[in-house]
């Protein structure tokens, strides 16, 4: 028994993403079914759920990374700030600049720290070197990495630790000034201290941009997110402000999952 | 500890021990064979340049022979041994090898005045130097004194070398440009006069070169008049100290590396062959790399990964197993006759029926080998591309890169080391390949290297020499296979070294690139 019309306490004009009956399938295998939900602007929204529930699939749908995979079919609509992201006039590279993404495995490019952060800037060009330097410094500071790397910007990005690499990837994404930051289990490959740093970073960023977080870690979702959506088998089960969902879930299935008694 | 664990640990060292010894034995055997191979070709090849001592042999029937002992074997009937001497003097004896029963040798000595002359024709001379003509007047009376004559010979050889240089300079810097000027404008009187003067000077130089005659005498007393111009090198091996021999050896090696072949490839150097081999491999690399890399990009990044792509991939892999002679036939049919013939009709029709590109040449040989090594490059590049994790591609796309930007800025730099590995493998294969070349452009003798001062400087239509083919030709198609054998070994050693150098260059390049594009610390 799933509940449609989740509890939301923000007006429609405060939503950043607006999903309407979104269904997605890999070949014949459905991954998302009839998903309808709104993601609030300048807040942290967490997607939780068991493995294979479709939460990463949903995240990748938001910046059209599925375009690469020919076997993926889609129905329904995703609107970003009111505009359908699949409309023909939307350029996919432009969309991805507005909707940045950080992956589970830290994936810095095999180049220097500076070049990694400047990668997105150089794609569009048109910046003076001075301006680019400023943005790189700003992005690294915003990702709380500047103090650790400012003396070795020319060093290879692969010489950084895992946690530093993940923050570098976040800085790289921030440098192109996205409106939305999608985080696909950004801390699952990191040690506890690095995880805490990433979580602090998420909290510090939410004033400036919309964050969507996919996580396995319930405590993490509870710690950093404002809203939480619980997905199961490609369907939205419950979607509520995080406090409500974790303290007072409406459905037994949700409660079982967050308390660790998975059916 | 459980009984099972204890049993396992009892058995493991024994099994591992035997396996380890077997594996180590195999490795040792392979290394030993490889070392023996290299040692054999190195010793037999490099030993050739050592100025071995020359023996004067007297037989029981009074015959006298001078020569270099090569090897000794038991007589076929089992009684005693016989020895093989290289005696040279083809012009006198008609036979340069002599098998002598050891029992019949009465005396053997090593007189210091025996000279060995390397000649342009008739091979080596071994005997005594009697006089140098025309003799400087002062010492004319003292003719017959070997030591004086030897000193004169050395002075004349040096003078001859200067004359040759003067002639070559004249040819290169005066006569050839003038001839070209006249070709362009036959009415150029000034050029005609200058050319006539230069030609006359060249003729005078020529005459000066031909002037000196050596009077030689073989050990059995026959005389011979030898123009000095045909003498390539002269030495008295028995009078040389070890250091002088070493110097002569190094000079011999250097001449082998830097000079062109002579005496139907059974003597002289291999410089055109070295140059041809290296140039062909370089041109081949330039041709095969872009093709192979683009094909790999298409197969791995662009093509729909369906049944057809899989089929193409299998076909490419199987192409690597096609015998090289088949590629040679293909190259002859398609490149030489097809492409070359068409090019001739379109651009060089005034030269027909003499073919320009419609015959074997460096370009066609390189193209054929590029085709031969294409699968290697494709497979290696594709494996490099497949190894790049998807999250790197997605990382670039998520930053707003287009597909092309993603491929060019992230994927390509990461795949470069693998592509260079492919090129290294291609070079290793191509440099040793001889069979297809015989059909598409290698020549037994092409002393003119394909690069010179004439426009367009690089002559891809010319035939070229190749070390591998040179080995084949010298070993089986010379006048005197026995005499050419050391050269065969030396050339084989050189071929191995050339391939080694080419490979090391490519490996160095790959290392340089991979340290620039990727951090070695984390992988």
pLDDT in tens, B211-240: 888 888 888 888 888 888 888 778 888 888
- Judge whether A23 is closer than 8 Å to chain B, CB to CB: no
Contact state of A93 with B392 under an 8 Å Cβ cutoff: no
What is the count of residue pairs from A and B with beta carbons less than 8 Å apart? 77
CA B466/CA B125 separation, integer angstroms: 30
Question: What per-residue confidence (pLDDT) applies to A214?
Answer: 92
Domain count within chain A: 1
Average pLDDT rounded to a whole number, residues B181-207: 82
Expressed in percent and rounded to 5, the helix, strand and coil fractions of chain A are 40, 25, 35
pTM: 0.75
Q: What is the DSSP string of B33-64?
A: HHHHHHHHHHHHHHGGGS----EEEEETTS-E
Q: What is the structure's pLDDT at B135?
A: 64
The reported pLDDT for the residue numbered B32 is 95
Report the residue of B303, B400, B414, B418 to disrupt the A interface, i.e. the one with the largest count of A CBs within 10 Å: B400
Residue A22 has pLDDT above 70, yes or no: yes
- Listed in sequence order, the residues at least 6 apart from B230 whose beta carbon sits closer than 8 Å to its beta carbon are B119, B120, B121
Q: Is residue A95 part of a domain?
A: yes
Stretch A55-84: mean pLDDT = 86
pLDDT for residue B351? 67
Find the helix packing angle between B271-297 and B481-517, rounded to 10°: 40
Asked if the model's pLDDT at residue A19 lies above 50, the reply is yes
Token output for A198 = 């990433």
Read off the tokens for A254. Answer: 């949700």
Task: State pLDDT tens for residues A101-129.
Answer: 998 888 888 888 999 999 988 888 778 88
- From the CA of A114, how many Å to the nearest CA of chain B? 14
Task: Let me know how many helices (H) and strands (E) chain A has, helices first.
Answer: 10, 10
**Angle, helix B481-517 to helix B412-431, in steps of 10 degrees:** 180
| CB-nearest partner of A93 from B401, B413, B414 | B401
CB A123 to CB B394 under 8 A?
Answer: no
Please report which residue ranges of B320-411 form alpha helices under DSSP H: 324-330, 341-347, 362-387, 390-398, 403-406
Which residue on chain B is closest to A110 by alpha carbon?
B518
Q: Identify whether the C-beta of residue A35 lies closer than 8 Å to the C-beta of residue A58.
A: yes
Closest in A103, A108, A159 to B394, CB measured: A103
Domain of A139, CATH number, reads 3.40.50.300
Secondary structure letter of residue A112 according to DSSP: B
pLDDT value at B141 more than 60:
no
**β-bridge pairing B223-227 and B213-217:** antiparallel
Classify residue B302 by its DSSP letter. Answer: I
Percent of chain B that is helix, strand, coil (3-state, to 5): 65, 15, 25
The conformational region for residue A130 under phi > 0 = left, psi -120 to 50 = alpha, else beta, is alpha
Q: What's the Rg (C-alpha) of chain A?
A: 19
Pairing of strands B64-74, B55-59: antiparallel
Question: How high is the pLDDT of residue B15?
Answer: 52
A1 in a domain, yes or no?
no
Q: How far is A117 from chain B (nearest CA, A)?
A: 10
What's the average model confidence in pLDDT over B314-331?
Answer: 89
Q: What average pLDDT does the segment B96-117 reach?
A: 84
User: In the predicted model, is pLDDT for residue B115 greater than 90?
Assistant: no
Question: Closest by alpha carbon to A212, among A2, A77, A56?
Answer: A56
Contact yes or no for A107 and B395 at CB 8 A: yes
Mean pLDDT in residue range A7-11: 72
- Taking a C-beta distance cutoff of 8 angstroms, is the pair B471, B488 a contact? yes
pLDDT of residue A97 exceeding 50:
yes
Tell me, yes or no, if A48 comes closer than 8 A to chain B by beta carbon: no
Alpha-carbon separation of residue B467 from A131, A171, B222, B439, B450 (angstroms): 58, 57, 39, 16, 15
The answer to whether residue A4 is domain-embedded is no
Task: Enumerate the domain spans of chain B.
Answer: 271-517
Higher pLDDT, B71 or B308: B308
B428, two tokens: 């290793």
**Structural domain range at position A134:** 15-258
pLDDT at A220 over 70: yes
Q: In sequence order, what DSSP letters do the residues of B153-196 get, joined into one string?
A: HHHHHHHHHHHHHHHHHHIIIIIHHHHHHHHH-TT-HHHHHHHH
pLDDT(A59) > 60? yes
Task: Flag whether A201 is in a domain.
Answer: yes
Fold for domain B271-517? MetI-like fold (1.10.3720)
* SS3 annotation, B388-453: CCHHHHHHHHHCCCCHHHHHHHHHHHHHHHHHHHHHHHHHHHHHCCCCCHHHHCECCCCCCCCECC
Contact B391 A157 (CB under 8 A): no
Chain A residues within an 8 Å CB radius of B521: 156, 158-159
Rounded to the nearest integer, the mean pLDDT of chain A is: 86
8 Å CB contact of B400 and A172: no
User: pLDDT at residue B488 above 70?
Assistant: yes
| B395 inside 8 A of chain A by CB | yes
pLDDT digits (tens, 9 = 90+) for B449-482: 777 666 677 777 778 888 888 888 877 776 667 7
The alpha carbon of residue A246 is apart from the nearest alpha carbon of chain B, in Å, by: 32
Supply the pLDDT for residue B296. 92
* Residue A240 belongs to some domain of the structure: yes
- Alpha carbon distance A111, B395 (integer Å): 13
Q: Best residue in B302, B304, B398, B406 to probe A by mutation, most A CBs within 10 Å?
A: B398
Q: Would the pLDDT of B85 be above 50? A: yes
Query: Are residues A101 and B400, on separate chains, in Cβ contact within 8 Å?
Result: no
* Inter-CA distances, A234 with A32, A49, A58, B286, B431, Å: 4, 10, 9, 52, 59
Residue A123 with chain B: CB contacts under 8 Å: 399-401, 405, 409
Q: With CA atoms as reference, report the closest residue to B391 among A56, A254, A92.
A: A56
Across the range B198-223, mean pLDDT stands at 83
ipTM: 0.86
Q: Which ranges constitute the DSSP H helices of A12-161? A: 55-62, 92-98, 113-124, 129-142, 146-149
CB contact under 8 A, B397 and A172: no
User: What pLDDT shows up at residue B447?
Assistant: 66
Q: What is the mean pLDDT of chain B?
A: 82
Q: Return the structure tokens found at B504.
A: 């090391």
Cα–Cα distance, B71 to B485 (Å, whole number): 14
Tens digit of each residue's pLDDT (9 = 90 or more) over B290-306: 999 999 999 888 888 88
Report the phi/psi class of residue B80: left, alpha or beta, with left for phi > 0 and alpha for psi in -120 to 50.
Answer: left
pLDDT at A173 over 80: yes
- Please state, for a pLDDT cut of 70, what percent of chain B lies above it: 90
Q: Does B516 touch chain A (CB under 8 A)?
A: no
Helices then strands, each counted (H, E), chain B: 17, 12
Q: Name the residue facing B391 among A63, A107, A111 (closest C-beta).
A: A107
> What is the rounded average pLDDT of the residues B63-67?
85
Report yes or no on A8 lying in a domain. Answer: no
> Is B522 a residue whose pLDDT tops 60?
no
Asked if B519 lies within 8 A of A159 by C-beta distance, the reply is yes
């Amino acid at each position: 028994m799933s509940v449609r019309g989740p509890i939301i306490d923000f007006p429609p004009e405060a939503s950043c993403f607006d999903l309407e009956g979104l269904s997605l399938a890999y070949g014949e295998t459905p991954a998302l079914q009839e998903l309808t939900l709104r993601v609030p602007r300048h807040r942290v929204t967490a997607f939780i759920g068991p493995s294979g529930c479709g939460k990463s699939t949903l995240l990748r749908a938001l910046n059209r990374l599925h375009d690469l995979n020919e076997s993926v079919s889609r129905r329904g609509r995703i609107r970003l700030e009111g505009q359908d992201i699949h409309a023909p006039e939307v350029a996919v590279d432009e969309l991805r600049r507005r909707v940045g993404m950080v992956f589970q495995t830290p994936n810095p490019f095999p180049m220097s720290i500076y070049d990694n952060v400047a990668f997105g800037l150089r794609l569009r060009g048109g910046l003076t070197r001075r301006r680019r330097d400023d943005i790189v410094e700003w992005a690294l500071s915003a990702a709380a990495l500047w103090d650790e790397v400012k003396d070795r910007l020319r060093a290879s990005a692969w010489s950084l630790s895992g946690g530093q690499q993940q923050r570098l990837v976040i800085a790289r994404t921030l440098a192109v000034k996205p409106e939305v930051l999608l985080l696909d289990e950004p801390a699952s490959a990191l040690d506890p201290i690095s995880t805490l740093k990433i979580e602090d970073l998420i909290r510090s960023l939410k004033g400036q941009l919309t964050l969507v977080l996919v996580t396995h870690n319930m405590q993490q979702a509870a710690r950093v997110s404002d809203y939480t959506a619980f997905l199961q088998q490609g369907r939205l089960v419950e979607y509520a402000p995080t406090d409500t969902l974790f303290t007072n879930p409406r459905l037994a299935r949700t409660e079982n999952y967050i308390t660790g008694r998975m059916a | 500890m459980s009984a099972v664990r204890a049993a396992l640990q009892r058995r493991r060292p024994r099994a591992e021990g035997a396996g380890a010894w077997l594996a180590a034995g195999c490795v040792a055997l392979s290394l030993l064979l490889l070392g023996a191979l290299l040692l054999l070709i190195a010793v037999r090849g490099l030993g050739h340049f050592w100025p071995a001592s020359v023996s004067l042999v007297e037989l029981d029937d009074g015959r006298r022979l001078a020569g270099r002992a090569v090897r000794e074997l038991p007589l076929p009937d089992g009684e005693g041994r016989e020895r093989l001497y290289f005696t040279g003097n083809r012009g006198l004896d008609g036979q340069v090898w002599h098998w002598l029963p050891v029992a019949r040798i009465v005396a053997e000595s090593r007189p210091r005045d025996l000279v060995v002359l390397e000649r342009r024709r008739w091979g080596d001379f071994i005997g005594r130097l009697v006089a140098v003509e025309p003799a400087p007047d002062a010492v004319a009376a003292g003719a017959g004194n070997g030591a004086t004559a030897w000193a004169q010979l050395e002075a004349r050889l040096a003078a001859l070398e200067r004359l040759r240089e003067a002639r070559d300079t004249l040819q290169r810097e005066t006569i050839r440009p003038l001839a070209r000027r006249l070709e362009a404008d036959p009415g150029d009187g000034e050029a005609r006069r200058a050319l006539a003067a230069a030609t006359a000077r060249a003729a005078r130089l020529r005459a000066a070169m031909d002037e000196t005659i050596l009077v030689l005498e073989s050990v059995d007393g026959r005389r011979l008049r030898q123009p000095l111009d045909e003498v390539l090198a002269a030495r008295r091996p028995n009078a040389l100290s070890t250091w002088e021999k070493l110097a002569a050896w190094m000079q011999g090696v250097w001449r082998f590396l830097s000079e062109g072949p002579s005496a139907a490839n059974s003597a002289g150097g291999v410089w055109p062959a070295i140059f041809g081999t290296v140039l062909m491999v370089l041109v081949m690399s330039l041709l095969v790399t872009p093709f192979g890399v683009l094909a790999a990009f298409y197969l791995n990044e662009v093509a729909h990964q369906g049944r057809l792509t899989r089929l193409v991939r299998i076909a490419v892999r199987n192409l690597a197993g096609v015998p090289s002679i088949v590629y040679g036939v293909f190259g002859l049919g398609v490149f030489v006759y097809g492409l070359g013939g068409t090019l001739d009709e379109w651009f060089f029709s005034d030269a027909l029926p003499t073919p320009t590109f419609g015959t074997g040449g460096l370009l066609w040989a390189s193209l054929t080998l590029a085709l031969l090594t294409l699968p290697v490059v494709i497979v290696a590049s594709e494996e490099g591309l497949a190894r790049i994790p998807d999250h790197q591609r997605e990382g670039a796309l998520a930053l707003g890169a287009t597909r092309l930007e993603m491929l060019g800025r992230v994927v390509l730099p990461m795949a470069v080391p693998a592509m260079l590995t492919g090129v290294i493998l291609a070079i290793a294969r191509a440099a040793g390949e001889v069979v297809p070349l015989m059909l598409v452009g290698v020549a037994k003798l092409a002393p003119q290297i394909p690069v010179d001062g004439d426009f367009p400087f690089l002559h891809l239509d010319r035939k070229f020499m190749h070390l591998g083919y040179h080995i084949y030709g010298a070993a089986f198609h010379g006048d005197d296979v026995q005499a050419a054998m050391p050269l065969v070994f030396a050339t084989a050693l050189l071929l191995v070294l050339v391939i080694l150098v080419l490979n090391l260059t490519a490996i160095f390049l790959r290392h340089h690139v991979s340290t620039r594009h990727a951090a070695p610390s984390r992988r």
